[in-house]
Amino acid sequence: MQGKTIDMARVAMGITTTKYDRYISQQINAALRDLEIAGVKSAEKPDDDLIVQAVVTYCAAHPPMSPPDEKIMESYEMQKSQLMTATGYTEWGGGDDHS
């Protein structure tokens, strides 16, 4: 997930250099951990478009050298909520329809 997602996050954050890739990687890991804490089986679906989009949104909300963007963070929280209730994305959500 990291390589493709770092590229997408870089674009979403308006970054054109690889200078912040370590920071972006940390944000990706934080987003994945946040999803896992919420019950989303992100580790089992590392290339799932909905999970990648949520992770990229999380990264966009946390640009380097700036405070978190609350509006973008609201978007991330909405995406996380949808994943938490979607079939196949949580332990309690039923089958694994979205592999």
Residue 90 lies in a domain: no
Q: How would residue 1 be classed by pLDDT, with cut points 50, 70 and 90? A: low
Residue 94 lies in a domain: no
What is the maximal distance between C-alpha atoms in the chain? 41
- Return phi, psi of residue 90, to 5°: -135, 165
* Residue 73 domain boundaries: 2-85
Query: What's the rounded Cα separation, in Å, for the pair 54 and 34?
Result: 11
Domain count, the chain: 1
pLDDT tens digits for range 52-71: 999 999 999 999 989 999 99
Q: Residue 74: is its pLDDT beyond 60? A: yes
Residue 81 lies in a domain: yes
Residue 60 lies in a domain: yes
Residue 95 lies in a domain: no
Residue 45 lies in a domain: yes
Q: What is the pTM of this model?
A: 0.86
Residue 96 lies in a domain: no
Residue 91 lies in a domain: no
pLDDT tens digits for range 7-40: 999 999 999 999 999 999 999 999 999 999 999 9
